[in-house]
Every structure is written in C-alpha cells, then in structure tokens.
Amino acid sequence: MMAGYLVIAIDGPAASGKGTLARRLAEHFGLDHLDTGLTYRAVAKALLDAGLPLDDEAEAQKVALAVDLAKLDRDVLSTHEVGEAASRIAVMPSVRRALVEKQREFARRAPGAVLDGRDIGTVVCPDADVKLYITATAPVRADRRWREILAGGGQAEYADILADVERRDARDMSRTDSPLKPAPDAHLLDTSEMDIETAFLTARAFVEKELARRSKA
Ligand code: DC
C-alpha cells in the first residue's frame, strides 16, 4: 500500500521491539526503512577494527562523516561488542551531528521513510507525520533477547542480559545530547504484555488515523 510522502518516527529502548515494528510498517506502507542504530554501530565497528580508542571524539567524527547508509550490514554490526561500543560513541555531539544529517537526508527522499532509533521524534525528524514511542519493562526486554539468543543456538545468562539492558538504558537516557525520551506528541506503546502482531496492528492504526486525517484535509 503506497501512502504518499510520509515519515514515521519510532523511538524506544533496546529490545523494545521497535526494529521489527519499523520493518513491518515500512513494508506495509511502501516506505524505505532506516535502523539508525546501525549508523552508530558502523562508527563503533570501524573504530574497533582500526584499533582506535573509543573516546577520541575527533577520530570518531571523521569516521561518522564517512559512513555510507547504503552499506550498513546488519549481520556484521549486530554483535554485542559493537552495540556496547556504539552506545559509548553515541554520547559524542559531533558524531551525532554527522549521523543525524545523513539520517535526515534519508528521510527527505520520496516516498518517505520509517526511521527507528532513540532521538528520531525529538531531534532527527521533529516534524514526522507519525511518532511512536515503544517501550516494555527491562525484564521483559531482557527475556526477549535471551530467548532470541537461545533460539539462535547461542548461550547466555538471563541475569547478564538484564544487567546489560539496564546499563544501556541508563546510558541512552542520561546523556546530555539527545537523550532517549518520548517526543511530547508521540503515541506511547507499551509492548510488555503484547505480542508483535498486536503491537503491529496498534501501530498501524495510529498511521491509518493520520492518513485518514490527511485525506479529509
Ligand atoms: O538500537 P541499537 O542497539 O542498534 O543502538 C546502538 C546504540 O546506538 C544505542 O546504545 C544508542 C545509540 N543510538 C542512538 O544514540 N541514537 C539513535 N538514533 C540510535 C541508536
């Protein structure tokens, strides 16, 4: 289904289900999708690969300016180590400025886009047509991640994952530049007791309401 130019901003903490929702909404409404977490991960991975320190902002900014959104490879960027490093470099204002510029360019292209991350509704696309803030309690998110790892044949301790989720939340929510928080006009969606299908249908209804409002305007 083509929706006409439309930008959907999705924010929320790690493992809230926002990525799956973003992909499904993009597919349903015929929009491009950008997981902005991958852009921070790409910077972190390039620094790790080059053996560079994670606290050198000038170096990290150089790497951020060179990130190519067309070359983000989820498979190589989704490791735990890269995620940890990404949340450390994501506190750097000059890295954020470089990546936000690229993310905005992506959102400007027709037919519009779904972007998911931490600061999409507040900073990257404050004029987005629909804003969603997806949450779930930390134990529920840790449990989802733990099951994913086991289902993929991996091994992990639930307690370690919970500690990790809580540490990542604290870092993402307490940084001075663009902390994770809902935009004042975001629809809040707590998926703690929702399966992904119900979450998708609820999110889709928010978008359909906006489209109906437009067609009447
Ligand atoms: O969603 P993720 O786990 O792939 O994100 C990795 C890190 O990147 C996360 O800890 C915070 C940061 N991030 C951010 O600061 N702003 C975004 N829009 C997306 C991710």
Q: How confident is the model at residue 215 (pLDDT cuts 50, 70, 90)?
A: confident
User: What residue owns the CA closest to ligand 1's atom 4?
Assistant: 37
| Torsion sign across C-alpha atoms 171, 102, 69, 126 | positive
User: What residue owns the CA closest to ligand 1's atom 20?
Assistant: 37
Specify the pTM: 0.94
What is the set of domains in the chain, with CATH numbers?
Answer: 1-31+111-212 (3.40.50.300), 37-110 (no CATH)
pLDDT per residue as tens digits for the range 133-174: 999 999 999 999 999 899 999 999 999 999 999 998 998 899
Tell me the CA–centroid distance for residue 213 and ligand 1, in Å: 32
Alpha-carbon distance values, 91 to 39, 176, 187 (Å):
14, 8, 26
Atom of ligand 1 nearest to the CA of 119: 18
Q: Report the distance separating Cα 69 and Cα 99, nearest Å.
A: 10
Strand-strand pairing, 32-35 and 112-117: parallel
- Separation of CA 34 from chain center: 8
Q: Report the distance separating Cα 133 and Cα 156, nearest Å.
A: 28
